[in-house]
Amino acid sequence: MMSAATNTVQIKEPDIRIRVSDKKALYGLSIASILFVFLQNNQILNLAIIALFLAILTQKDMSTAICSYFYLTTWERFTTMPVLSAISIIDMILGLVVVIQLIHKRIRIRLDDSVLLCIACIYSVIALLLHRNMSGIKMIFDVFIVIYIRYINQEKEDNADFWKRAFLFIFISTILSIMWGFVSYMQGNVATIYLDGNIHSRLRSTVGTDRSCMLYCAAAIYPIFYMKKKWLKICSLGLLATMTLLTLSITAVLCVSVFCIILLIDSYRKSKLNKGILAILIVLILGTFYYVYNYGSGINAIDNMIFRAKKVSMLASDGEYSSATSGRTEIFDDYWYIYSNRFSFFNKLFGSGVVNYKYYYDLPDYVHNTYMDMLLYMGLIPLIFVFYRFYNGIKYYKNNNYQLQILLLKTSYALTALSVSMFTATYWWVFFII
C-alpha cells in the first residue's frame, strides 16, 4: 500500500530572486555610475559602459542585457562621443545581437511589430538618403529590442521575473542619478527658475528637470510593488517625492497626479478600497491641497511649487498661454505653421523624414513636444498607428500581473512627451512602444 506522502506532488515555486548575472551587471554599472558622479569624467563613463555592456552580452542570459540597457538610458545625456553617443553604440550592438537571436531562434514576429518595423525602416532610409541624418536608424534597432522583450515575456523561465528585475535596474539607476544631482548641486551646477521676483534653484538628475519626473515615476514602481521592507519602501518613495517637488516642474505635477490617480482607481477596482475609504482619501487629498494652495505649507519646496502653479493658472486664465507654458505654445505654433502651410497633402499624411526641424528651418528652439516631432517626421497616418501600438503594448500584458506596472511606466513617459522633445531619445521610444 502506497503512503499518502508518495502520492504528494512537490510543486516548485518559481525563483524570482535576483540572478547572479544581474548582480554582476548591477555591481559593474553602479560602480561606473558612482565614479562618474564624483569624478564628473565622461570618458570614464563611456569606456566603462561600453566595456561592461560587451561583457554582459557574452552571457547566455539576454534578459540581463536588456535590463542593463534600461539602466543605462538614465545616463544617455552624458554618454557623448565624437561621432555617436555611447548609448547609441550600445543600442545598435544590442539591436544586432537581438536580430541574430531572433533569426537563430526562429521567433515569429507579430503583425503590429512587423508594421512598426517597416515604418522605422522606411523613414530611417528617407532621413539618411534625403537629409543625411542617422538618428532614425536607432529606431530600427529599438523595434527589434521591443520584439525581443515580448519574446522574453513569452518564455516560461523568464516571464515570472523579467519586469521585476527590469524595474529594479531602473530604480537603482535613478537613485544614483539623484546622487549625481545632489553632488552637482553642491558644486554649484544647478538649474534655476524665476519666481515671485527671486531666482530659485531646481534640483535635477541626469536627464534635466522636465524629464526627471518620468524617471521618478518609473523608479517608484519597484518600491510600490516589490519592496518587502516597509521602512525602505517609505524612504525610497519619500526621496522620489521630494525630488519631484524640487524640480519645480508643472510636468512633474501632471505625471505624479495621473500616476496616483491610476493607483487609486486600480485599488478601488480590485476592491482593495471600499467606497467609504476612497471618499475619505479624496476629501483628505482635496482638503490638504486647498489649504496648502491658499495658506501655504511652511515648506519652501512645496510653497514654491504651489506659487508656480498659481502663476501658471493665472497667466492661462488671462490668455497668456505662451508665458504660462514657458514659451512652449508659441514655439508649437511655429512648428504647426510649417506642418499646415509648407507640407503637401502627401507629406501631411506620411511626413517628410526630417528628424529635427530646429536645424532644418533654423528655428530658435526645439518644439518641446515629441508628438509634433513625430508628426513632422512620419506624418499623420503612421503617427496614429504608433498610438495604437502604445495602446496595444498595454493590452498585451492584460493576462499577467504586469499590466498596471506597464501602464504606469508608459503613461509617465507619454505625458512627459507633451512638454519635451524626446523622439530621437532611445529610452523614450522604447518605453513608448514596448
pLDDT digits (tens, 9 = 90+) for 314-336: 766 766 666 656 667 888 888 88
Lowest-pLDDT range, 36-45, 158-167, 178-187? 36-45
Helix H or strand E segment including 54:
helix 42-57
Q: Is 80 exceeded by the pLDDT of residue 21?
A: no
Q: How far apart are CA 126 and CA 264, in angstroms?
A: 45
What 3-state DSSP class applies to 194? strand
What 3-state DSSP class applies to 191? strand
The stretch 276-295 carries a mean pLDDT of 67
Asked whether 309 and 253 are in contact (CB, 8 A), the reply is yes
Q: Name the one residue in this structure whose C-alpha cell is 482619501.
A: 281
Q: How far apart are CA 215 and CA 192, in angstroms?
A: 20
Residue 359's pLDDT band, with cuts at 50, 70 and 90, is low
Lowest-pLDDT range, 31-45, 212-226, 227-241, 275-289? 275-289
Q: Is 393 exposed, middle or buried (0-12, 13-18, 19+ CB in 10 A)?
A: buried
Q: Is 50 exceeded by the pLDDT of residue 131?
A: yes
Q: Which residue has the higher pLDDT, 364 or 143?
A: 143
The stretch 160-173 carries a mean pLDDT of 86
Residue 2's pLDDT band, with cuts at 50, 70 and 90, is very low
For residue 274 the three cell numbers come to 471600499
Residue 76's pLDDT is 74
Q: Is 60 exceeded by the pLDDT of residue 298?
A: no
What 3-state DSSP class applies to 208? strand
Asked whether 405 and 396 are in contact (CB, 8 A), the reply is no
Across 41-55, 331-345, 353-367, which has the greatest mean pLDDT? 331-345
Residue 123's pLDDT band, with cuts at 50, 70 and 90, is confident
Q: Mean pLDDT, the chain, as a whole number? A: 77
Q: Which residue has the higher pLDDT, 227 or 284?
A: 227
Asked whether 413 and 432 are in contact (CB, 8 A), the reply is yes
Q: Name the one residue in this structure whose C-alpha cell is 521602512.
A: 231
Q: Is 70 exceeded by the pLDDT of residue 434?
A: yes
The stretch 253-257 carries a mean pLDDT of 84
Q: How far apart are CA 328 and CA 79, in angstroms?
A: 27
pLDDT per position as a tens digit, 67-89: 888 888 888 776 655 445 666 77
Q: Is 80 exceeded by the pLDDT of residue 61?
A: no
Residue 109's pLDDT is 84
Residue 221's pLDDT is 92
Neighbours of 162 (CB within 10 A): 20
The stretch 99-124 carries a mean pLDDT of 84
Q: In the chain, what are the helix, strand and coil shares in percent, each to the nearest 5? A: 70, 5, 25
Q: Where are the beta strands (DSSP E) in 45-117?
A: none
Q: How far apart are CA 63 and CA 66, in angstroms?
A: 5
Q: How far apart are CA 70 and CA 226, in angstroms?
A: 18
Q: Is 60 exceeded by the pLDDT of residue 8?
A: no
Angle between helices 426-433 and 86-104 (to 10 degrees): 40
Residue 410's pLDDT is 92
Q: Is 70 exceeded by the pLDDT of residue 254?
A: yes
Helix H or strand E segment including 202:
strand 198-202
Q: Which residue has the higher pLDDT, 22 or 159?
A: 22
Q: Which residue has the higher pLDDT, 398 or 385?
A: 385
Which residues contact residue 174 at a Cβ distance below 8 angstroms, ignoring those fewer than 6 apart? Answer: 74, 205, 215, 216, 218, 219, 240
Q: How far apart are CA 279 and CA 55, in angstroms?
A: 53
Q: Which residues pair with 205 in a beta bridge?
A: 208
Asked whether 101 and 148 are in contact (CB, 8 A), the reply is yes
The stretch 395-407 carries a mean pLDDT of 82
Cα-flanking dihedrals φ and ψ of residue 31, to 5°? Answer: -65, -40
Q: Which residues pair with 194 in a beta bridge?
A: 199
Q: How far apart are CA 49 and CA 335, in angstroms?
A: 36
DSSP annotation of 8 reads P
Q: Is 70 exceeded by the pLDDT of residue 35?
A: yes
Q: Which residue has the higher pLDDT, 346 or 289?
A: 346
pTM for the whole thing? 0.84
